[in-house]
Structure formats: structure tokens, C-alpha cells
Chains A and B, each alone.
Chain A
Amino acid sequence: MAHRLPRKDAVIVGLGWTGSILAHELTEAGLDVVALERGPWRDTATDFPISYAQDELRYRLQHQLFLQPAQMSVTFRNNASQTALPVRNWGAFMLGNGVGGGGLHWNAETFRFLPTDFTARSHLTQRYGEKFLPEDMTIQDWGITFEDLEPHYDDFEYLCGTSGTAGNVNGKIQDGGNPFEGARSRPYPTPPQKQGYGHTLFAEAAKQLGYKPYPQPSGNLSQPYTNPLGVTLGQCTFCGFCEWFGCANYSKATPQTTILPVLLRNPNFEARTECEVMRVNLDNTGKRATGVTYVNSSGEEFEQPADLVLLCAFQLFNVQLLLLSGIGTPYDPRTGQGQIGRNFTHQTMSTAVGFFDKAKYNFNPFIASGAIGMCIDEFNGDNFDHGPLGFVGGGYIGQVRTNGRPLESISVPPGTPAWGAKWKQALRDNYLSSVICGGACHASFYSYRDVCLDLDPTYKDRFGRPLMRMTIDLHENELKMSAFLTDKYAEILQQMGAKQVVKQPRKGPYDVTDYQTSHLCGGAIMGENPGNSALNRYLQSWDVPNLFVQGSTAFPQNAGYNPTGTVAALAFWSAKAIRSQYLKNPGPLVHA
């Protein structure tokens, strides 16, 4: 029997980036807010101090700052003809856990989407004709524009102190920035990070080939910075242990280094950690959330009543909670009916390895940050003519190598045995002089009718609830795109002076053991009407107006950039609508 707790104005599920942003906004608005986080409290001094933060085995291979599959996992199959099986240990993606969520151990690559990414379907249809898009591709317009979000990208970048070079300020193209970016209202708050040898050589080669390289926008700061909340971050020291790891330096923008010190001092706010939300509770109309039910780490069940419920968990788990709570209609790929679970996407990643003459090139790969690097956007979005190419979508291409961590940097030329004296020698010969960059081609993953999420019929979590089932495979469009982008990256590596380039385009079938970013998106998408979306333009549930669902869950498809910048911008945009409209007049903000 659940213990019923005193009512709160708002309950937030998950205390990562969006949970922290929304908690801060709502407590500033005077609301009494509780955040429930199923993982532990995490902070710099206790969890990743400088004395042992740089531990590749513990934090990368054994992912100790992450959710462990024993606590919650998912099942996976490529298509409906297969039986989905559990992901018993992480591979293709790794999911955050604990206060800070993914925002604690991300590498802080902080991008904005392109204006045309928000109107993907109408733009591409207009330019290439409807028949150009695959028949089973289900991309949609978002229902908002880049201009709607621009002030909120700005909010996030100034919260973080993002280091970068603007490419387009109020319509004026700036030298050294990304000439393709949507117009921004002002430059980045801090200058771009310094670049290493490999990154610099890449930019020179890219320029020689006629491209316009720009520094990757980085939430690992180039200089100390105090944000508008009064929280100060330090200068990144290029330690090379960024993504997967906590930052011991206070120089990576995370909820811990930007919001939590202020949020926790607000008497209106309370966080409860190691509390797992079981479901959102609804009243007997099914159209109003009354709060959530959660379980603490000793198994006691609590009911937390609240007037406003915000799902701020990771994308997969927001969708899981919607399904477990009976909110919206589950998507059925056979009929095309139902919104919850459809338009599930990931990220199309590929790379090429460049081997260089070790007598002439030493890249010191261990001198890096998580978001260091030089990128080109000539082949992102619809920045180039797809007509002759036979695919849509694109991505940034960059030398964005983040580390020289030994186990992740094993790089030997093709034909080298996997073991023995020759392997050992090849490792010795190539570690300093090869360019390996997993994130080199970081491309869109469009949505398809048969790529979706639902509740698994067989496998359960430790509470007996069904795991999420992922049905996902790569489609011809993304494979063609990946081959194209990989070729372009390989050309730049050649131009840099590589003696051998080994292309590694993305190949199907989608492999759940092969890491390809944790940028899972969709499942409860935003849109213009309840017939084709789960959420309205403010991330408010069409079905339950006092429920808002944050995160990449809302993306109708994923674009050719890391999603966190857009996730955070949407959180600020949604928070503004809640504060300026919803709180004054609770109810649906959009009448479709």
C-alpha cells in the first residue's frame, strides 16, 4: 500500500539536464517542486575527484557512472520477424543514471540544429518532390521553427558558457564560424577551445579542399566563466577523459557545475534520490495526472500528488512511463495508429582511420577535451544538393577526436593479426601517429514506419514491469548517406597526409553491441496536431494537459548533430510557456 505524501505543485521525474532546467525555472516561478531521481546523488568531490577520475576501465569499459542493465535494461530486435532479446550489457548506447543524468558524463558537444531540420518534411518535399523520400520514411515538421528556439539555444549556451566561434550573427556571416548555421542573436559566451595537432591539420586540409571548417562548440570551457545564475566554471585542461567520465575540474558544463548549487539552495526545491517512479497516476477521466507513484531503495512505495507532472527521464524511459501509465495510444506499426512509441531514431555514425608516417607525425591524442575539434557543415542537413545522390539527410564531418585512452585507441592497419608479436608492434608503431575519431561523421537518422518502441512481452525489470522493446534497423537512405560522408572524410584525411586511410562506413544490420552514441530520440514526438504527434509545440501532452514530456523524446527525427543543445533549448522554451501561459491558466496551450 503506497504511503500518500503531501501535495507538491510540481513533480519532476529524473534530475538530469531537463529536470534541472525545469526545476530551476519552476522554483524561480515560486512553485514547490520535488524531483525524483532513480540513481544516486553525484558530485565532483565524492564521485570523480582528480585523484582517480581518469580510470578508463572503471568509467568507460565498466561504465560505473551509468545506469547498469541489472537495474533497468531494454530488449532489442532488428525487425518484427525476430524475437527481441535483452541487452544484457550496454553496447550501442549507454544510459545515464544519478543526479546530472547524461549531462554529467557527456562530452559537451553543444550544437544547434539547422533551420531546415525543424521543417524537414516540408522543406525536402518542396525541394526534391515527394517521391524523392522513401515511402516508409515518416519524418515530420516539428511544429516550431529555429527562430522560436533561438533565444533558448542562447539561454543554454550562456548557462553553460559554451566556447565557440559564431558563424552567423543576425544574418551577418562571421569568419571562422559555421557559415551554414541559423542566425544567432549574439556570439558564444567564451572563445573556442584551443585545438590539438590533428584537429588543426584537419582544418588546414579542409580549407585546401574548399571547405569552411569551424571549431566544434564546446561545453568544456576555454576560460573560467560565471553564468547568469552566479555559478562559476573553470578552464578545461585537456585531460582527455571527458565523455563517460566526470570532470574533476569543474570545467565541463553539467547540471552540477551550472544549476544545482543554486537550485539546491532554493527552499522550494527538494530532490529525492534512489527513488524510481513506477507510473504517472491519472484521475478517473484519464485526462488529468494526479501525481506519480514511486519506490525508494528499500522497496517502500509512495504516492506523490502534484498539480503538474514533468517527465524528464531519458528518452527511452519517458516513453516507457507513458506506456506503463496508459497515457496516449501505443503505436502499432502494422496499422500506423497510435503515437506513443513511433518515430524512434538514433544517430548514423561512421568514420575512417588515418595512418600516418610515425617519423613525421605525432598527434598526442591524449591531449584533448570532449568537444575539441574542427568540423565542416557542407554535408549536413540539406546544405548540399541531394538530387544526384539519391538520399536525404547529412551530418557534420569533423576531426573531433576526444582522447587517446589506451583501450579505446587500439589502432592497427588492416591485415595486422589481432594478437601476437605483430599486433604488439603495430600498437607500438601507430598509437601516436594514427587518427582515429569515432565521431567523425555524425549524421542524421530519419524516422521510419517500422522503427519503433513498445513494451516487451516477455522480459521484465526488477519490479516486474515490462522492459522497453526496441525494433530498429538501418535503412538504405542512411547507409547511402553514411558511405557518402565517410568518403568525404577520407578525402580530408588523405589531404592531411595520411599514408593509409581505412574507411569504416556504417553498415547494417543495426548492431546493439556496437557503440554509436547514446542519442536515442523520438517515441513521443512533438507536432502540430494530435493526429500525428504525442506532444504539442510546448512539449505538453495532447492527452493529459498537466503533463509535459521533455527531452529528445520529442524529436520527430534526429538531425546531423549531437542533440543535447536542442534538448536543452526545448526545455527552456517549454519552461517559458509553462511560466508565462500555463501557470496563469492551466489547460491545453494549443487547440488543434
Chain B
Amino acid sequence: MTGVDTGATRGPSLAGRLGVDRSVAIAFGCILLILAAGALYSPAFLSPEYLLQQLQVGAFLGIIASGAMMVILLGHIDLSIPWVVTLGAMMATAMVGWGGAAGVWLCIPFGVLCGALVGTLNGFGVAYLRLPSMIFTLGMNAVVQGLMVLHTGGFAPQDQATRAMHFLAVQRSLFGIPNALFVWALVGLVVIYVLKRTAFGRAVYAVGNRESAAYLSGVSTNRVLIGCFAFSGAMAAFAGVLLAGYSNKAYQNMGDAYLLPAIAAVVLGGTNILGGRGNYLGTIAGVILITLLQSILSVMQMPEAGRQVIYGCVIILMLLIYGRGAKARS
């Protein structure tokens, strides 16, 4: 029994090496099922234009879920995502006003940096103060919210997106594929590389399995914790920057709709919410699944009430199929 179960260590088969385990396969199966159901409703569901549109919208969720996944792999959770998304968008757009000519260039890195800073503080609270991540990131979310209310209310900052943000989020420059999709692919490749090919990635799984064991094996677990939380903050803020580009401005509460879908996407992709197990392919499947589900329910003109009920039931049903824990007696 390997302590570090990344899916890749399981067997020599190609599917195993790619990280296709049972949960990932079922998640992709469900995607096909949803597409088939959509196609029965209207053939337009299978048109490349519609699918690309969904992937473009899904890219924002995918970037947030990439960060959320790193934290969930540690067995922690980042509840500060909603306002860090807003923070990224607001700081990036405001930087244009503050920085003058240089601001146009600095705005995107600055927004991401602010998110990474909040993430680092989250990591500090979890690693050194040893507070439960659920409650510390919740408090941090409230603090960032307070800062952003102050920011928008007191100084009437610039909130328009720049051309670069618009370019990344909306435009399509290569074969009609949305640029946002390339950005998500880049983030995904970085995560896959870090998780599969670096010592840091191994340490992430080790800490998620048993932190004390990882510590005794010489892993500086606090650094791993801070690194993952900082990455989660940076990705949430980066998605916020892109969302600002997508809707052309930053506004309050723009991140509220992303916390639960991001966690749901990661968990539907087979990542254990208690940490230590999961791979990025599953997260991709989870993000596409959630995006398609939301899109199809809205295309079918289902009222919001029915959408929420179906959304919740589908998540429960899928997890009952493959996400069940071990029995107490084992």
C-alpha cells in the first residue's frame, strides 16, 4: 500500500498513468450523458460554437478550482475565495488609475499578487497559528470584504477593465478558440507538473495523507501549507482579473457565485475532501460537468428553484455512485 496515492502510482496501465481512475471515468461519462440529454432537447447543444462558449465560461471556474484543489489536497479548505476573486478584479482595475502609464502593464500582476498575499496570510494562520482553515479563511474573507467596501466606497476608484484583460477573457485569437481556454490550460499544466514531477507536489499529497508523518519525514509542512494557500489566493484573484475583463468592470459580490461550484467541481472530480487523494484530470472533468449542468438547466428555462434542486440532487447522486467513504468497521 503506497502512502502517496496519486493515481499514477497505482499501475503500469496507460489509463492509470494518465490519472484515469474510476471516479474520473464516471465523471467523464456523466459529461457525455448530459451532452446526450442536451442534444435530445436541441441539436444546437453539440455545435462547436456552443461547446466553445461553455469551455470559455468554464475556464474561469477551472482556474479557481485549480487553486481550490491544491488546498483540498492538503485536507484544508479555502472559504475566502469569493472576496479574493473580487479583490483581484478590483485591485487590478484600480491599479490602472494609480499606476498611470505603467499601471496598464502592472495591473494584472498586481491583482494576482494581492490575491497571493491574502492566500499567504491564510496559510500563515493555518500553518503557524494552527487554526482550522475553515474558520480562519472565513474570517479572512470578512476582512477582505471590509477592505473592498472601504475601497469602493471611500475613493471612487477606477473599475474599468483594460484591453489586456478583455483580450485574455473574451477574445479568440487562434483558430477561434477562446483565449481564456489557453489561460486555463496553462494553469492546468503548471498544476499537473507541480503535482506529478516536483518534490513539492509529493509533499502536498504527503501532508494531505498525514501531516505528522510528513513532518517526521523531513517535509517542512508549514511551507507546503503556505505555498498551497498562496497559490489558491493567486488563482482566485487571477480569475477575478479575467472576470473583470469578461464583464468589462469589477463589481462587489462578483465572486459569490464561485465558491460552492469550485469545491463541488473538485470533489466531483474524485479529489478526497479530507485530502491526500485526487488528480487534476478529475478536476477538469468536474469543472466541465458543473459548467454544462448549469448551462443546460438555464437553456431549458428551468426556473431558479428547480435549478437549485436538480443541481444539489445531481451532486449527491454522483457522489453516492463513487464518492463514498469506508465503513466504520473496516
Indicate, yes or no, whether A interacts with B: no
Q: Which residues of B contact A (CB under 8 A)?
A: none
